[in-house]
Structure 1
Amino acid sequence: MATFFLVIIYLAFISLGLPDSLLGVAWPVMSAEYGAPLETAGWLFMTIAGGTIISSLASGAVLKRFGTGNVTFVSCLLTAGSLLGFHFAPSVVWLVIFAIPLGLGAGSVDAGLNNYVATHYKAHHMSWLHCFWGVGATLGPIIMAQSISGQNSWRSGYLTIACIQFALVVILFFTLPLWNKIAKNSAAMSSEEKDEQAGALLEEEAKQTKPLRIKGVKLALVSFLFYCGAEATIGLWGSSFLVNVKELPVDAAAKWVSLYYAGITIGRFITGFITLKVRNRTLIRFGQVTALLGTVLLLLPLPAGFLLVGFIMIGLGFAPIFPCMLHETPARFGKEHSQTIMGFQMAMAYTGSMSMPPLLGFIASHTTIGIFPFFIAFFVAAMFLGSEKLNDLLKKKRSTNGENSNSMSL
């Protein structure tokens, strides 16, 4: 039963990734039809991201009030309805209107599913969960490209994705009773597992502390900000750097950036197996060091082949970081507030994705895109330092809790 239910969660994450890259692929055709300028896509992106951040911040209270299953069902229904709205939208104004529920739906389901898997499943399931997001993010542009080339219609692409989303809504509706059942079964874990998941902070202490006042939470939020900022910045500006600075052909640059994303997706699939033997913290550290080494290759005046290796190394290094940091949330801060903290982390992640790439673009427009590798190196280094400082803090906290426990037993 748990395995069958996990398949449903994986399907939900595929559907979460499907709309993420649709707008960028379809906009050249959409802008021509609407007569809209290029920057309109940026405003739509900001609207979607803004809704996602708001729903992520509110997800802790919403999920506690209505439950993960109900929130996932309603969020997917909102997403499906919004995509259908894009299909029928007669003007850009309607695109903006439908972008609001599209963003709101994505934030809650993202935070809810991440916390549910972090609390009730092992670390390898979290890695595979985000691998399936990559599958959805890859399939979305393929479906849209096929619709544009085959039927010369971006609207049919949105309609296809909407139909897939509505099919998932039906599945979620009939499996709603399973959410609480699986949660109750997983709650019956052994005392050893409970102690392990309590991690750095005792549950009793967590109950008496507000989420943002728990030691280490702000450092975790910084790590999420810089990780997602780096990931999105490479995706948006990597090709421009390769074309304008390294003088690669446009098609070759696009393929190299796609290999970066392939490194993330394949890396997360492989990481799922590695987590069976290696702890999350070790994988996070190894991924950050690998990504740092990749950025060094971008900084050095090396032949073009080394740049490709650098992009792939960064992708492979990024692969374990995000899912492992998410899965560590209950272990780091206790289950009592993990749902709320997960929402904060997702909000900070979307903030990084929304703010860091435009920041680089603004500075590069007044200087040169050659600053790209320096920005990426700074983002990755800041993430690494924040993560290591958090590990030290949690280690000291764990040591203190252990000493207090021993003194009480005496």
Structure 2
Amino acid sequence: MAIPYGLGAGSIDAALNFYVAGHYSLRVMNFLHCFYGLGAVISPNIMAFALLKANWHAGYLWTAMLQSFILFICIISLPLWKVNKDADEDNEASESVGIISSLKVPGLVLTLIAFFSYCLGEATSFLWTSSYFAGTKSNVNLELVASFGFLTFGGLMLGRIIACLISHRLSDRKPIRIGLITEAIGILLVIIPTS
């Protein structure tokens, strides 16, 4: 079940990122990811509310209803996506390359490794946060522990909001450097008190 879900979610994510990167500014891309963070912040709280008021089945049902609403919005917004259709067809005809040719682009393999590492870190920290509190803090109720999953994505969302506000004033490399420095400081703040 997880493999089809992952392939579907990954395909939608890649297609949407590709479309936005090709047609809009870095600021719009940051807003896209900011709202992804907003959804990821809301999701654990839906499950926490379901555990508090009903059961975990209700949490999945409510999430499925929310996903269906988002699908409906996407379907009715299809005409907006066709605005750039002619430009897309011209670009596809002139820029189509295969996977092997794509892998020969300088820096692509390192970018794929960095992206994989980022996704691994994001998933690990998201899963670890709730698991850590559930396993070490017996005095914290499960509903509150379920809502702690939002900490990771809340931080990502806050970072994207800040990036949206400053990215149009900076070159592409400066926000990356600022992000790396901020992450290094955050890691040090976590490691130093525990050592």
The TM-score range, normalised by the shorter chain, is 0.7 to 0.9
Kindly provide the CA deviation profile for residues 130-182 of structure 1, in whole angstroms up to 9, marking residues without a partner as x.
111111112222223323322x2333322222222223333333332331214
Given the alignment, which residue of 107, 114, 124 partners 2:27? 124
Is 1:134 aligned to 2:37, yes or no?
A: yes
Q: Distance in 1 between matches of 2:59 and 2:134?
A: 30
Residue number in structure 2 paired with 1:219: 110
1:311-326 paired onto structure 2 within 5 Å = none
Change (3 A) 1:241 1:116: same
* 2:154 paired with 1:267: no
Structure 1 pair 159–261 and aligned structure 2 pair: CA distance change class (3 A): closer
SS for the counterpart of 2:169 is: coil
Moved more, 224-233 or 212-221: 224-233
Deviations 1:303-353 (A, max 9, x none): xxxx7xxxxxxxxxxxxxxxxxxxxxxxxxxxxxxxxxxxxxxxxxxxxxx
- For 1:56-135, list aligned pairs within 5 A: 100=4, 102-135=5-38
Conserved in 1, the CA contact under 8 Å of 2:26 and 2:167?
yes
Q: How much is the aligned-residue C-alpha RMSD, in angstroms? A: 3.5
Does the 8 Å contact 1:147/1:153 carry over to 2?
Answer: yes
Q: CA deviation at 1:216?
A: 0.9
Show CA shifts across 1:194-227 (max 9, x none).
xxxxxxxxx88x8597111111100111111222
Matches within 5 A, 1:356-375: none
Going from structure 1 to structure 2, the CA distance change for 1:230 and 1:143 (only over 3 Å counts) comes to: closer
Contact 2:47–2:59 (8 Å) recurs in 1: yes
Q: Distance in 2 between matches of 1:222 and 1:261?
A: 21
- 1:29-71 deviations in Å (ceiling 9; x for gaps): xxxxxxxxxxxxxxxxxx52xx3xxxxxxxxxxxxxxxxxxxx
In structure 2, the gaps of 5 or more residues are: none
In the other structure, the counterpart of 2:174 is: 282
Q: Aligned to 1:210, what secondary structure does the other structure show?
A: helix
Q: Distance in 1 between matches of 2:152 and 2:68?
A: 31
> How far apart, CA to CA, are the structure 2 residues paired with 1:133 and 1:141?
13
Name the amino acid aligned to 2:63.
I
Structure-2 residue corresponding to 1:168: 70
In structure 2, how many angstroms separate the alpha carbons of the residues matched to 1:211 and 1:115? 15
- CA–CA separation in structure 2 for the residues paired with 1:294 and 1:260: 12
Q: 1:123, 1:275 within 8 Å by CA — same for their partners in 2? A: yes
Instruction: State, as a whole percentage, how many aligned pairs show the same letter.
Output: 36
Instruction: Tell me if structure 1 keeps the 8 A contact 2:44–2:150.
Output: no
Out of 122, 127, 136, the residue aligned to residue 236 of structure 1 is 127
Q: 2: CA distance between counterparts of 1:256 and 1:159?
A: 21
Q: Is the 8 A contact 2:40 2:153 kept in 1?
A: no
Q: How has the CA–CA distance of structure 1 residues 142 and 236 changed in structure 2, closer, same or farther, with 3 Å as cutoff?
A: closer
**Among 147, 150, 161, the residue aligned to 2:50:** 147
Closer, same or farther in 2 for the Cα pair 1:142/1:240, shift >3 Å?
A: closer
Residue type at the aligned position of 1:219:
L
Secondary structure at the counterpart of residue 170 of structure 2: coil
Q: Secondary structure at the match of 2:168?
A: coil
Separation of aligned partners in 2, 1:218 and 1:135: 30
1:293 counterpart letter in structure 2: I
For CA contacts below 8 A with separation 6 or more, give which structure has more relative contact order: 2
Partner residue in 2 for 1:56: none
- Say which one has the larger Rg: 1
CA contact (8 A) 1:243 1:250 kept: no
Change (3 A) 1:177 1:131: same
The 3 A distance-change label for structure 1 pair 273 and 170 is: same
- Compared CA separation, residues 221 and 148, structure 1 to 2 (3 A): same
Cα contact 2:34–2:160 (8 A) shared by 1: yes
> Is the alpha carbon distance of 1:218 and 1:171 closer, same or farther for their aligned partners in structure 2, counting shifts above 3 Å?
same
Partner of 2:190: 298
CA pair 207-159 structure 1, distance change in 2 beyond 3 A: closer
3-state DSSP of counterpart to 1:298: helix
* 3-state SS of 1:214 partner: coil
Alpha-carbon distance change, 240 to 145 in structure 1, aligned in 2, over 3 angstroms: closer
Return 5+ residue gaps in structure 1 as ranges: 1-46, 52-99, 188-202, 308-369, 371-410
